[in-house]
């Protein structure tokens, strides 16, 4: 069995990791706010949100507000747990890198 920390492929893409980082800090966030914070285009955000939704990690909800249809995103339980494990794996990998540098 390998000792290499297991990262979650669903969060491998930088934009998806940033989406997850944002969702981990809030209960729910509207599409435009998420787009402004992680600084990606509408189409890129839409594509990655759909991928995370298809993976069962993100719940998307449409709601009308001020006469416009808006999309709201939130983590599912699997998404939140998967992100916590992914972050733990990233921290473990980073610590390994720091230990390797210190050992040189």
User: Which residues sit at the interface with other proteins, rule CB under 8 A?
Assistant: 7, 12, 14, 17-18, 21-22, 24-30, 32-33, 37-39, 65-66, 72, 83-84, 87, 89-91, 93-94, 96-97, 100
> What is the nearest approach in angstroms of other proteins to the Cβ of residue 100?
7
Q: Of the two residues 57 and 83, which places its CB atom closer to other proteins in the complex?
A: 83
> What is the nearest approach in angstroms of other proteins to the Cβ of residue 2?
13
Residue among 99, 98, 97, 91 at smallest CA distance from 5:
91
Q: Of the two residues 36 and 54, which places its CB atom closer to other proteins in the complex?
A: 36
Report whether 16 contacts 10 (CB < 8 A).
yes
Q: Of the two residues 21 and 51, which places its CB atom closer to other proteins in the complex?
A: 21
> What is the nearest approach in angstroms of other proteins to the Cβ of residue 18?
5
Say what the alpha-carbon torsion angle 53, 45, 26, 59 is, to the nearest 10 degrees.
Answer: -20
Residue 33's alpha-carbon distances to 2, 27, 48, 55, 104, in angstroms, are 40, 13, 15, 22, 44
Residue among 41, 43, 49 at smallest CA distance from 23:
49
> What is the nearest approach in angstroms of other proteins to the Cβ of residue 36?
8
């Amino acid at each position: 069995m390998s000792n290499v920390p297991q990262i979650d492929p669903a969060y491998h893409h930088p934009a998806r990791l940033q989406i997850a980082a944002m969702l981990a800090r809030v209960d729910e966030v509207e599409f435009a706010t998420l787009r402004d914070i992680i600084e990606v285009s509408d189409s890129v955000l839409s594509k990655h949100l759909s991928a995370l939704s298809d993976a069962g990690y993100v719940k998307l909800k449409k709601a009308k507000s001020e006469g416009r249809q808006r999309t709201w995103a939130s983590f599912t339980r699997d998404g939140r747990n998967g992100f916590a494990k992914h972050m733990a794996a990233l921290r473990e990998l980073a610590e390994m890198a720091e230990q390797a540098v210190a050992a040189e």
